[in-house]
Amino acid sequence: MKISTEIGSIARIIGMEKAVEYCAKAGFDAWDFSMFDMCRIDWQTGLPMNTGSPLSGSDALKFARTLKKIGLDHGIVCNQSHAPFPVYVPAVRDCLKRAIACTAEAGGSICVIHPDNNKTAEENAEMYWELLPFAKDCGVKIATENMWNWDNEKAMSSFAACATGEDFKKHIDVVNDDFFVACLDLGHAEMRGSGDGAVSMIRTLGRRLQALHIHDNDLLHDDHQIPFSMDVDFAAIAKALREVDYKGYFTLEADQFLRDYDEENVFEGILKLKESACRFEALFLQSE
pLDDT category, 241, cuts 50, 70, 90? very high
Q: Is the pLDDT of residue 1 over 90?
A: no
Which CATH number goes with the domain that contains 281? 3.20.20.150
Question: 45 is in which domain, residue-wise?
Answer: 3-286
Based on the structure, what is the number of domains in the chain? 1
pLDDT of amino acid 100: 98
User: With contact defined as beta carbons under 8 Å apart, do 185 and 144 qualify?
Assistant: no
20-79 pLDDT per residue, tens: 999 999 999 999 999 999 999 998 888 899 899 999 999 999 999 999 999 999 999 999
Q: What is the DSSP string of 34-82?
A: E-GGGS-EETTTTEE-----GGGSTTHHHHHHHHHHHHHHTT-EEEEEE
How confident is the model over 227-231, as a mean pLDDT?
98
76-120 pLDDT per residue, tens: 999 999 999 999 999 999 999 999 999 999 999 999 999 999 999
User: With contact defined as beta carbons under 8 Å apart, do 212 and 254 qualify?
Assistant: no
pLDDT category, 238, cuts 50, 70, 90? very high
pLDDT of amino acid 46: 82
How confident is the model over 6-31, as a mean pLDDT?
98
pLDDT category, 124, cuts 50, 70, 90? very high
Mean residue pLDDT across the chain: 97
How confident is the model over 229-252, as a mean pLDDT?
98
pLDDT of amino acid 288: 67
Identify which of 12, 7, 1 has the alpha carbon closest to the alpha carbon of residue 270: 7
